[in-house]
Structure formats: C-alpha cells, structure tokens
Amino acid sequence: MSFQPTTPGRVLITGGASGLGAALVEAVRAAGGTPVVLDRDISALEDVAAYEVDVADTAAVTATVREAVEAAGGLEAVVTAAGIDRCGRLEDVAAEDWEKVVAVNLFGTVSVVRAALPALRASRGRVVTVASTLALKGVSDATAYCASKFGVLGFTQALAAELKGEVGVTQLIPGGMKTRFFDDRDEQYKPQDDSQLNDPENVAAAVLFALNQPAGCEVRELFIAHAEEGSWP
C-alpha cells in the first residue's frame, strides 16, 4: 500500500511568531492544516489563531492551552518550538537569567504538552519537541542551554515510552538555523559565517513529515542540519 499524505490538522506551535515556529505556521497552512500559535509577542501575526503567553508561566500556559484547544475544537499535534538562550560562563550568567532558560526551554515544553494531553489523547495525535545538537554534546559557555535541552531530550524519550499507543512522540534535533535566535547574543557567541546554518523551512518540512506518518508508524527522532554543519556525528 502506497503512502498517502494527509493534512496535519490543528497544530499548536509554541514560539510561532518567529524563527522555526513561523516556518512551521506556514508549512502547516501549506499542507492544509490549521496552525494555532502561542508566543510572548503576537503583535506581528495576522490571519492565524494566536495567544500571547510566556511559556515559562505554567499556570498561564495551562489556561491558555485549554482556551486554544476549546476555540479550535480539538487538536491533532503540538510542536514546542519556543526557546531562548543566555550565553556565558556559569559564574557570569545571572542566576535569574540561567533559570529562565530552563523555565522556557524545558518547563515550558513540559507545561504545554501536559495541558494538551487530553486533546491529543482524544485525537490520537502527535507531539514534536524541539531539542538541539547541544542536547547531545555539552559545550563551554552554554550550561543553561545544554541543561535545558538535555532535559528536553530525556523528557521526550520518557514521554514516548509513557504514551506509546496513545500519542505519537518525536524528538527533533535541529542544527543551527538562519533565524533571529542569535541576534541578542554578544558578538563572540554569534555565528561568524551563516553559510552552514540551515533554512528553517527545511526543518519545518521535516516536522511535517513526522506529523504525516500513518497510524501505527512513528518517527521517534529527527536530526536535521545543513549538509556542511560539523555537529554530527
């Protein structure tokens, strides 16, 4: 039997106002699905259901996800693309900033997925969490980011075991992308050459591939990077 693509349905995307999240919004639309965005700044968004919330605020996220699901009439997928970073040596990064990275990247991922689970169970839907190459290899001056993304990886693997047969779970491990993610970094932490950064549209297409698998088949892990990036193997 040949593989028959289907529409992705209603897809909740965190961080959907920029970067990978914005690329996912367009990919879902192009595939005939309905994107639903959660972001801390939705002022630039048009013609999409969008909710302003800080994913680090568990109570607010829980209420907002429930509101979004009710308004959409259900949910087929969640993609947790929201993420931040604060570079620097451990003693040079303020504790509040360090903990905010973990709150957004890890706790935000967990809170969104937890709140969406009833809807995903009802639709036998899917979750795609966004980790990083720095979830596989720790590097200097990135203790907060590595800690958060290693956590996302462990959470995702445990979640896949917990929800097998109920909700599909994929861990996405993207290499560096041409987004504004690096804009607020000190110059020493910005890529000096963006020729080896991937286009977020390519990564979004890979996510759609995972969401489009037939019942009974799951893509458990996706590592996607520019062909010349050196972070793999």
From the candidates 98, 145, 150, 155, give the one annotated as an active-site residue. Answer: 145
Please, what is the Cα angle at 27 between 222 and 30, to 5 degrees?
A: 140
State how far the Cα of 232 lies from the Cα of 34, in Å rounded to an integer.
33
State how far the Cα of 76 lies from the Cα of 1, in Å rounded to an integer.
24
Residue 145 annotated as catalytic: yes
State how far the Cα of 82 lies from the Cα of 65, in Å rounded to an integer.
14
Q: Which two tokens stand for residue 39?
A: 């972001």
Q: Which two tokens stand for residue 50?
A: 């969008």
- Strands (DSSP E) contained in the chain are 10-14, 34-39, 49-52, 77-80, 126-130, 168-174, 221-224
State how far the Cα of 83 lies from the Cα of 145, in Å rounded to an integer.
9
State how far the Cα of 119 lies from the Cα of 66, in Å rounded to an integer.
9
Laid out side by side, the sheet with 77-80 consists of 49-52, 34-39, 10-14, 77-80, 126-130, 168-174, 221-224
Q: Which two tokens stand for residue 53?
A: 């919330």
Active site residues: 145
